[in-house]
Amino acid sequence: MSVQPELTHREAEEVVIGSLTLYCDQFKASGTIVWAEQTTVSGDAVFTNRSRRALRLTFTGRCYDPEQPLQFMEEADGIATVTGTYTVHYRGVVFTDCHIQSYTVEDKGDGIITASVTLLTTEPVEPEEE
């Protein structure tokens, strides 16, 4: 009989996106492959092409700045309007050539800002070099 360890606590992972720093509690990646389908003369369906769509990455977490609690929102708004790209390191992998698609910021009045940043990249996921 094997005993499974109980996970009781996990530290938030620091994620840096340009000038933004977010302590990530939750991460979601979503990738899609689009298949082109054609009908043959005999009425059968065949795939004629496939295309990888952009990988969508969503980092959700917290930031804390008691002096300027909405500084994260100002920074996110500033870099979202820039056409530059970002490289993001997260839990042993590197996402390159990332574009900001959206962000959300929520202030619940306790000094901790809950934020989410969604990025898009067409580059493959790479392992982080050690």
Domain containing residue 80: CATH number? 2.40.30.200
The one-character DSSP state at 128 is P
Confidence band for 68, pLDDT divided at 50, 70 and 90: confident
What pTM did the predictor assign? 0.81
DSSP assignment of 69-120, as one string?
Answer: TTHHHHHHHHHHTS---EEEEETTEEEEEEEEEEEEEEE-SSSEEEEEEEEE
* One-letter amino acid for residue 105 of the chain: V
* In-domain check, residue 113: yes
pLDDT (0 to 100) of residue 7:
64
Q: What is the span of the domain harbouring residue 99?
A: 13-127
* One-letter amino acid for residue 89 of the chain: H
* In-domain check, residue 5: no
* In-domain check, residue 122: yes
Beta carbons of 24 and 14 less than 8 angstroms apart: yes
Number of domains in the chain: 1
* In-domain check, residue 109: yes
Mean pLDDT score of the chain: 88
Give the residue with greater pLDDT, 82 vs 28: 28
Confidence band for 119, pLDDT divided at 50, 70 and 90: very high
* In-domain check, residue 19: yes
